[in-house]
C-alpha cells in the first residue's frame, strides 16, 4: 500500500531530529503525516477484517519518545512553537479517532503523551488568549485543544492521570470561557464560531455541574455579554445551576421558617430567611426592549428574555412561601406588568397567522436554550417562541399577578384578543397541568386518609374534595374557568357538616385566596382545605382572627396563646394585627400580649 509506505517514511522522518530542525523540517514532516492520517480507512470501507494500523507500534513508540523531547525543548513555550503544538494536537486527535473507528490498540505511551500535550497546550491558550498579536496562532490552537479534550474525555478510563489532573483542567476551561476576548465580541467569524460550538458541547454535556458551582456569579457575566452563542451557553449553565441550588435552598428555607414559627420572639421577622432573586437578573429585566425584536439590538433582547427564563427557573418545585417572596420582589419593581405588556407588544396575536400556526403545545410548554440545531436557528423566530413560552410561565407561576394585570387593561379590543389567544393556546395547557397534578397527588396520597377522596372531572374542569364524617359527607368544589388564570377559580362548599358556618366560609375563603391573591396552585388550595378539615376533627383550635386552623400563606398552626383570654392565633395573623393597630395587645381582650408564656 503506497499510503502505508508514505506514512512510515514520514513517521521515520520525525525520529532523531536535532533541535534546530524541529521548527522547520519537523513541522513540515508532521504536517504531511497528519494529512496522510486523514485518508479514509479503506480496510474499514471494504469491510476488511484486518485491523488498520496507521503506524506500526514499534515505530510509533519511537516517534512518541522523540515528540516528548520536543515538548521538553528550550523553545517549547515560545510563540514559534505554537504551530508545532497545533500539528501535534492534530496528530493525536487523528490517531485516537482512527483507534475509535477501527479498534487500533492505543498503548499507555500514546495516552501519556496526549494528556501531557493537552495539559501544556491548554495552559498556553489560557496565558496567551489576551495577546492580540498571537491571535492568528492562538485561535487554531484553542480549537484543537478543545477537540483534544473531548476526545481524551471519551478515553478517560484509559488514563491513570485523568482523575488526578482533571480538576485543574476544568478550571482552565472555565478561564478560557470567561476571559477569552473573542467570547465578548458581538460578531464572530467562522473559526470563532467553531470554537464556541466546542465550548457549548463541553460545558453543556461534559463538565459536571458540581465543578461549575464555584463560578456561579461569573456565569452571569456571560449572559450580560454581547456574543449570542456565549450568552446562550451562560444561560444554559445557569439554568441547570439554579435548579440544583433551589433544591438545597428550599430545604434550608423551610427549616428556617419552621424554627421561626416555633420561636416566641416574633416581634419582628428580620431573622426569617428570605428567598431572594439574583439582582443580576432583576436589573436585566427592568427596561424591556422598546422596538420590535426584528429591529432591536439582538444581544440586548436575548439578555432580557433569557434573564426572565432564568428568573422562572427559580420557581420550579418550590414552596408557597418561597414563591410569595419571589413574587413580592417582582411586584416591587413592577416587573410582571412590564413583561406582560412586552409580550403583547411583540406578538401579533391577531394577524401574524404564519407564526400563530407554528404554535404547538410542545413549543409553548418547552423551551431549550441549547439544542442540536441552535447554530442554524432563525433567532428572531426562536425569541418569539420564547416570548410565548414566558407568557405560559406567568400563567403557571404568577397566576394571580397575571389576572391583576389583565383586569386593569383598558383597551377592550386588546383585552378581548388576549383572552381569545389565551383560551386557544395557553389556558388549556395550564388547566390540564393542574388536573394532572391533582391526579398525581391523589395517586400518591390515596392511602394517607381513608376518609378523604378527590374526584376530577376533566370535561367540566372541576376538582371535588369529599370528606366522609360518620357516614356523612362534606364537600369543597373548585371550578376552573376556561380562561384560567385570567378569570378567578370558583371555590364552593355545597355540603357542610360538623363545622360552624363562619369557620366553613373561612376555610373556603382561605383556599381561594391561595390561588387568587398569592399565586398558589390549585393543589395548594386543596391541600390547605383538606388539612383544615383533618386538623379540625383532630381537636385543633382555629385562629381567633382568621377562623382557619392553618395559615393560608405558610400553613402554620395557631401557636400563639393570649395568657389572659386563652384564645389562639397564627403568628402571621397576630403580627399583622400588631402592625395595623400599632400596639402589642390581644385583638380580643386587648390585654398586653406576652410572648414568653
Please report which confidence band the pLDDT of residue 40 belongs to, taking 50, 70 and 90 as the band edges. low
Look at residues 314, 323, 168 and name the one whose alpha carbon lies nearest to residue 241: 314
All three cell numbers of 148, joined, read: 483534544
Residue 448 has pLDDT above 70, yes or no: no
Please report which confidence band the pLDDT of residue 171 belongs to, taking 50, 70 and 90 as the band edges. very high
Residue 102 has pLDDT above 80, yes or no: no
Question: What is the rounded average pLDDT for all residues in the chain?
Answer: 88
**Average of pLDDT values for 432-443?**
85
Residue 121 to residues 124, 146, 247, 578: CA-CA distances in angstroms? 5, 10, 38, 66
CATH fold of the domain at 434-539: Ubiquitin Conjugating Enzyme (3.10.110)
Strands 568-569 and 472-479: unpaired
Question: Comparing 269 with 16, which gets the higher pLDDT?
Answer: 16
Residue 264 has pLDDT above 60, yes or no: no
Polymer length of the chain: 597
> What is residue 263's predicted lDDT score, i.e. its pLDDT?
55
Please report which confidence band the pLDDT of residue 271 belongs to, taking 50, 70 and 90 as the band edges. very low
| SS3 of residue 469 by DSSP | strand
> What is residue 545's predicted lDDT score, i.e. its pLDDT?
87
Least confident stretch, 15-29, 90-104, 173-187, 566-580: 90-104
Homologous superfamily (CATH) for 541-596: Zinc/RING finger domain, C3HC4 (zinc finger) (3.30.40.10)
b/e for 139-151, b at 16 or more Cβ within 10 A?
bbbbbbbbbbbeb
**Average of pLDDT values for 474-482?**
92
Summarize the chain as % helix, strand, coil (round to 5): 60, 5, 30
> What is residue 566's predicted lDDT score, i.e. its pLDDT?
85
DSSP letter for each residue of 65-80: HHHHHHHTSTTTTSGG
pTM of the predicted model as reported, rounded to 2 decimal places:
0.84
Burial category of 234 from C-beta neighbours within 10 Å (exposed 0-12, middle 13-18, buried 19 and up): buried
Please report which confidence band the pLDDT of residue 530 belongs to, taking 50, 70 and 90 as the band edges. confident
Spell out the domain ranges in the chain.
Answer: 1-39+51-207, 215-260+273-408, 434-539, 541-596
The predicted-structure confidence for 212-222, as pLDDT tens digits, reads as follows 999 999 999 99
> What is residue 49's predicted lDDT score, i.e. its pLDDT?
47
CB 44 within 8 A of CB 102: yes
**Average of pLDDT values for 74-85?**
95
**Average of pLDDT values for 91-113?**
81
Amino acid at each position: 500500500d503506497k499510503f502505508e509506505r508514505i506514512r512510515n517514511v514520514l513517521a521515520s522522518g520525525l525520529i532523531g531530529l536535532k533541535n534546530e530542525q524541529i521548527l522547520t523540517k519537523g513541522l513540515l514532516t508532521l504536517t504531511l503525516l497528519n494529512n496522510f492520517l486523514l485518508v479514509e480507512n479503506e480496510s474499514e470501507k471494504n469491510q476488511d477484517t484486518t485491523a488498520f494500523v496507521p503506524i506500526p507500534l514499534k515505530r510509533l513508540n519511537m516517534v512518541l519518545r522523540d515528540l516528548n523531547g520536543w515538548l521538553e525543548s528550550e523553545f517549547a513555550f515560545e510563540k514559534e512553537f505554537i504551530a508545532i503544538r497545533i500539528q501535534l494536537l492534530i496528530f493525536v486527535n487523528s490517531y485516537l479517532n482512527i483507534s475509535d473507528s477501527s479498534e487500533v490498540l492505543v498503548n499507555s505511551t500514546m495516552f501519556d503523551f496526549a494528556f501531557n500535550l493537552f495539559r501544556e497546550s491548554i495552559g498556553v491558550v489560557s496565558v496567551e488568549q489576551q495577546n492580540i498579536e498571537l491571535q492568528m496562532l492562538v485561535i487554531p490552537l484553542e480549537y484543537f485543544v478543545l477537540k483534544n479534550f473531548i476526545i481524551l474525555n471519551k478515553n478517560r478510563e484509559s488514563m491513570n492521570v485523568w482523575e488526578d489532573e482533571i480538576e485543574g483542567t476544568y478550571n482552565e476551561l472555565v478561564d478560557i470561557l470567561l476571559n477569552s476576548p473573542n467570547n465578548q465580541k458581538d460578531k464572530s467569524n467562522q473559526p470563532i464560531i467553531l470554537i464556541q460550538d466546542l465550548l457549548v458541547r463541553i460545558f453543556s454535556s461534559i463538565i459536571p455541574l458540581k465543578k461549575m458551582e464555584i463560578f456561579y456569579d461569573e456565569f452571569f457575566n456571560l449572559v450580560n455579554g454581547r456574543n449570542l452563542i456565549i450568552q446562550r451557553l451562560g444561560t444554559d449553565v445557569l439554568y441547570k445551576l439554579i435548579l440544583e441550588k433551589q433544591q438545597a435552598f428550599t430545604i434550608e428555607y423551610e427549616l428556617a421558617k419552621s424554627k421561626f414559627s416555633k420561636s416566641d420572639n416574633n416581634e419582628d421577622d428580620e431573622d426569617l430567611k428570605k428567598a431572594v432573586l439574583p439582582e443580576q437578573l432583576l436589573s436585566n429585566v427592568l427596561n424591556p426592549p422598546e422596538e420590535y425584536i426584528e429591529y432591536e439590538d439582538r444581544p440586548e433582547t436575548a439578555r432580557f428574555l433569557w434573564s426572565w427564563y432564568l428568573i422562572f427557573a427559580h420557581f420550579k418545585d418550590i414552596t408557597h412561601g418561597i414563591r410569595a417572596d419571589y413574587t413580592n420582589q417582582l411586584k416591587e419593581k413592577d416587573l410582571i406588568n412590564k413583561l406582560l405588556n412586552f409580550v403583547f407588544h411583540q406578538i401579533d396575536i391577531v394577524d401574524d397567522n404564519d407564526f400563530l400556526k407554528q404554535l404547538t403545545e410542545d413549543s409553548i410548554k418547552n423551551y431549550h436554550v441549547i439544542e442540536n440545531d441552535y447554530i442554524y436557528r432563525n433567532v428572531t423566530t426562536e425569541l418569539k417562541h420564547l416570548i410565548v413560552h414566558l407568557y405560559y410561565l406567568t400563567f403557571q407561576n404568577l397566576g394571580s399577578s397575571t389576572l391583576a394585570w389583565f383586569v386593569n387593561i383598558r383597551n377592550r379590543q386588546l383585552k378581548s384578543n388576549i383572552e381569545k389567544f389565551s383560551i386557544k393556546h395557553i389556558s388549556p395547557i395550564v388547566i390540564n397541568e393542574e388536573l394532572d397534578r391533582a391526579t398525581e397527588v391523589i395517586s400518591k396520597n390515596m392511602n394517607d386518609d381513608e376518609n378523604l377522596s378527590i374526584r376530577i372531572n376533566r370535561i367540566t374542569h372541576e376538582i371535588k374534595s369529599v370528606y366522609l364524617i360518620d357516614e356523612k359527607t362534606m364537600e369543597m368544589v373548585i371550578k376552573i374557568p376556561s380562561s384560567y388564570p385570567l378569570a378567578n377559580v370558583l371555590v364552593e362548599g355545597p355540603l357542610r357538616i360538623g363545622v360552624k358556618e363562619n369557620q366553613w366560609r373561612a376555610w373556603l375563603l382561605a383556599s381561594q385566596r391561595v390561588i387568587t391573591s398569592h399565586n398558589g396552585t390549585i393543589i395548594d388550595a386543596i391541600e390547605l382545605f383538606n388539612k383544615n378539615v383533618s386538623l379540625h376533627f383532630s381537636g385543633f383550635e382555629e385562629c381567633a382572627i382568621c377562623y382557619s386552623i392553618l395559615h393560608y400563606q405558610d400553613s402554620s398552626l395557631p401557636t400563639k396563646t393570649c395568657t389572659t383570654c386563652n384564645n389562639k392565633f397564627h403568628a402571621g395573623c397576630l403580627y399583622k394585627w400588631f402592625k395595623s393597630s400599632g400596639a402589642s395587645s390581644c385583638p380580643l381582650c386587648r390585654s398586653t400580649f406576652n410572648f414568653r408564656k
